Chains A and B, each alone.
Chain A
Amino acid sequence: MTTATTVRLHKALYLPAAIQQAAEDFKDFAKFHVELDGDHHVVTLTDPDPEADGDIAAEFCNFALAHTAARKRRKPG
């Protein structure tokens, strides 16, 4: 049975490129699928690594936020 976790990231607050970069960072720990639903990017995590330590979805969100902040800092607006 496949475990799926979904997180919703507001498109005004998270950059698509930052979400992709975070997904790339965590590709060894889960599979990521991103789609747009209204005002949110909906990220679905499947097949999480059972031996991974910590909350993969929550860490993924932190990374997406950090990458967004860094990219906005380099290129404001």
Chain B
Amino acid sequence: MTSPELEHFDPAKGQMTLSLDAGLYPIEVLYGAAFVLLDRAYVLLDRDGEEGRNSRYLVHLRAKSPLDEAGLRALAGEFGNELLTQALRRLIVKQNGNLIEDITTRALAGAAGGSAPVDFLEDDDGLDFLDDPLGIAVPWEEKYPKKGGGNP
């Protein structure tokens, strides 16, 4: 990526205009970089030329507090750096979007509590809870009656 070009620079008024190739910088990157400077500078975006390859974004910056020439140049440099940061961040999110989504989904599912295993839910043998095919509920006396009959 090429760095933004300084189109206009007026240290006396604390303002400058940068231009950058609209074909190289996605609009989200421009918004992100401009957003970072909003607390220190007045930012006005414009576009030179029709949408397409030769179009350029114009970024008018004016410092909110008085800045000398070096300070103003530092602000321009910071804007250029922020463009690269935003572009890199966008690339990382794009490359790892599925992974981030998967991890988030698993974390939320874990926090919501585990569900019963699917194979357990599907294990339906048609028995009612009162059925006793193994005779477990049959009293011991009934299962093994005394041969003599009477009380000792």
Least CB distance, A65 to chain B, in whole angstroms: 6
Return chain B residues, CB-CB under 8 Å to A72. Answer: 27-28, 31
B47–A13 contact, CB under 8 A? yes
A76–B43 contact, CB under 8 A? no
**Can you list 8 A-B contacts with CB-CB less than 8 angstroms, sorted by A residue number?**
A7-B44, A10-B47, A12-B51, A61-B43, A61-B44, A62-B42, A65-B43, A72-B28
Return chain B residues, CB-CB under 8 Å to A58. Answer: 42, 44, 62
CA distance A12 to B46 in the complex (A): 9
CA distance A68 to B28 in the complex (A): 11
Docked complex: A49-68 residues within 8 A CB-CB of B: 55, 58-59, 61-62, 65-66, 68
Q: Please list the residues of chain A having a beta carbon within 8 angstroms of any beta carbon in chain B.
A: 7-10, 12-14, 39, 55, 58-59, 61-62, 65-66, 68-69, 72-73, 76
A13–B42 contact, CB under 8 A? no
CA distance A13 to B34 in the complex (A): 12
The 7 A-B residue pairs with the shortest CB-CB distance, nearest first, are A58-B42, A69-B31, A13-B45, A10-B47, A61-B44, A62-B38, A69-B35
Return chain B residues, CB-CB under 8 Å to A10. Answer: 45-47
A13–B46 contact, CB under 8 A? yes
Q: Please list the residues of chain B having a beta carbon within 8 angstroms of any beta carbon in chain A.
A: 27-28, 31-32, 34-35, 38, 42-47, 51, 57, 62
CA distance A72 to B86 in the complex (A): 15
Which residue on A lies nearest to B46, using beta carbons? A10
A65–B51 contact, CB under 8 A? no
Return chain B residues, CB-CB under 8 Å to A59. Answer: 42
A65–B62 contact, CB under 8 A? no
B45–A65 contact, CB under 8 A? yes
A61–B42 contact, CB under 8 A? yes
Least CB distance, A34 to chain B, in whole angstroms: 16
Which residue on B lies nearest to A62, using beta carbons? B38
Least CB distance, A37 to chain B, in whole angstroms: 14
Which residue on A lies nearest to B45, using beta carbons? A13
Q: Could you list 10 further interchain pairs (A-B, Cβ under 8 angstroms) beyond the known A10-B45, A55-B42?
A: A9-B44, A12-B47, A13-B27, A13-B45, A13-B57, A62-B38, A62-B42, A65-B35, A69-B31, A72-B31
